[in-house]
């Protein structure tokens, strides 16, 4: 394919991504993630994935997108903003991470990716490709870094100098050669350790290393058993997810509120006070979270989390 054609196609993809509401879009060649292999292996060996046994599966696929899509040539990395200044009305109420205020991001982003792939097929022709949103063996942050979208911070979230870190990551892996962006080579965390110092459960065990099994997001969402007693009084009143490491990050002063209607919370969600949460019924849970990512923890899981905070 001619260089100018690759440029044209890449520009078309980026323009379309912007029209669909994505915050940014970068493109990297589909190849083996050499740097990530030893890092992932060490992280699994240290059992930092806790009960997330699925992290142990498909090791090769996590590192090589060509094993996920036949003839894969390019990984299109996209970011979708979810930042909001809206807050829960009762400061004493158990807290929900702001990414889960609105509709489940998996559904919202999958639809956008589907549309993007359709438009690419109309413009470019026959394309073999797959969309990924945080639910398959794809290392989102590594690909976003390869595509020049940002660097991985000490809290292991991707940070953009211009936009902060409140965004979801997703990928389209396609069998088309495109014009590629330069990978992000610089790290702008410097000597800052705010995220490490602020983590309520000391889950950031070293700069750039998170013990997932200590992370409040893991404890309130992924963990199916009882929350270990050692975390009593350390949960900072979070009942679903946690935003602490992002709240303290200086780069998030550049975050701007999202424009995604699907992420506007259910009207009751922000109004519920401590008592409402303690007395929540399955009916209210179903109404408030009918399309939300909070359904992942199920009614019993949310009740467990709220009860644990009260101990």
Quote the CA–CA distance of 99 and 168 in Å, as a whole number.
Answer: 8
Quote the CA–CA distance of 74 and 66 in Å, as a whole number.
Answer: 9
Q: Hey, what are 133's tokens? A: 């949103």
> Which pLDDT does position 208 carry in this prediction?
97
Residues 246-274 have pLDDT tens digits of 999 999 999 999 999 999 999 899 999 99
> Which pLDDT does position 308 carry in this prediction?
98
Q: Where are the domains of the chain?
A: 3-90+97-174, 194-254+264-310
- Helical (H) or strand (E) element with 118: helix 105-124
The Cα angle at residue 71 between residues 66 and 72, in degrees rounded to 5:
50
User: What are the backbone dihedrals phi and psi of residue 169, each rounded to the nearest 5 degrees, phi first?
Assistant: -115, 145
For residue 51, what is the DSSP state?
T
The partner residues of 24 in beta bridges, in order of sequence, read 79
Residues 117-167 have pLDDT tens digits of 999 999 999 999 999 998 788 999 999 999 999 999 999 999 999 999 999
Burial class of residue 183 in the structure, from the number of CB atoms within 10 Å of its CB (0-12 exposed, 13-18 middle, 19+ buried): middle
The Cα angle at residue 304 between residues 271 and 293, in degrees rounded to 5:
55
Quote the CA–CA distance of 302 and 300 in Å, as a whole number.
Answer: 6
> Which pLDDT does position 170 carry in this prediction?
98
Evaluate if pTM is beyond 0.85. yes
User: What are the backbone dihedrals phi and psi of residue 248, each rounded to the nearest 5 degrees, phi first?
Assistant: -90, -10
> Which pLDDT does position 268 carry in this prediction?
94
Q: Which residue from 61, 63, 102, 48 is spatially nearest to 80, judged by alpha carbons?
A: 102
Quote the CA–CA distance of 284 and 271 in Å, as a whole number.
Answer: 13
Burial class of residue 223 in the structure, from the number of CB atoms within 10 Å of its CB (0-12 exposed, 13-18 middle, 19+ buried): buried
> Helix, strand, or coil here: 242?
coil
Spans of the chain below 50 pLDDT: none
Quote the CA–CA distance of 176 and 6 in Å, as a whole number.
Answer: 9
**Residues 107 and 265: beta-carbon distance below 8 Å:** no
Strands 74-81 and 209-210: unpaired
Does the active-site annotation cover 268? no
Q: Which of 90, 104, 134, 175 is catalytic?
A: 134
- Helical (H) or strand (E) element with 12: helix 3-19
> Which pLDDT does position 134 carry in this prediction?
86
């Amino acid at each position: 394919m001619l260089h100018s054609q690759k440029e044209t196609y890449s520009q078309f993809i980026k323009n379309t991504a912007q029209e669909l509401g994505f915050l940014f879009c970068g493109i990297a060649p589909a190849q083996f993630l050499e740097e990530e292999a030893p890092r992932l292996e060490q992280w699994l060996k240290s059992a930092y994935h806790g009960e997330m046994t699925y992290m142990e599966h498909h090791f090769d696929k996590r590192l090589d997108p060509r094993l996920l899509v036949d003839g894969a040539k390019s990984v299109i990395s996209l970011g979708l903003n979810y930042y909001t200044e809206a807050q829960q009305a009762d400061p004493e109420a158990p807290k929900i991470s702001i990414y889960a205020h609105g509709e489940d991001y998996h559904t919202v982003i999958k639809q956008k990716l589907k549309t993007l792939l359709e438009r690419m097929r109309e413009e470019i022709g026959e394309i073999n490709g797959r969309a990924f949103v945080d639910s398959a063996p794809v290392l989102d942050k590594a690909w976003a870094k390869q595509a020049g979208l940002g660097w991985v911070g000490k809290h292991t979230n991707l940070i953009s100098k211009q936009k902060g870190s409140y965004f979801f990551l997703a990928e389209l892996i396609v069998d088309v050669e495109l014009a590629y962006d330069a990978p992000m080579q610089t790290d702008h965390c410097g000597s800052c350790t705010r995220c490490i110092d602020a983590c309520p459960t000391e889950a950031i065990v070293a700069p750039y290393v998170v013990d997932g099994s200590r992370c409040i997001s893991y404890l309130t969402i992924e963990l199916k058993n009882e929350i270990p007693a050692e975390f009593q009084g350390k949960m900072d009143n979070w009942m679903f997810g946690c935003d602490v490491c992002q709240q303290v990050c200086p780069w998030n002063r550049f975050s701007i509120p999202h424009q995604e209607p699907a992420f506007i919370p259910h009207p009751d969600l922000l109004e519920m006070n401590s008592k409402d949460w303690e007395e929540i019924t399955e009916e209210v849970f179903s109404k408030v979270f009918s399309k939300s990512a909070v359904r992942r923890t199920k009614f019993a899981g949310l009740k467990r989390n709220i009860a644990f905070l009260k101990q």
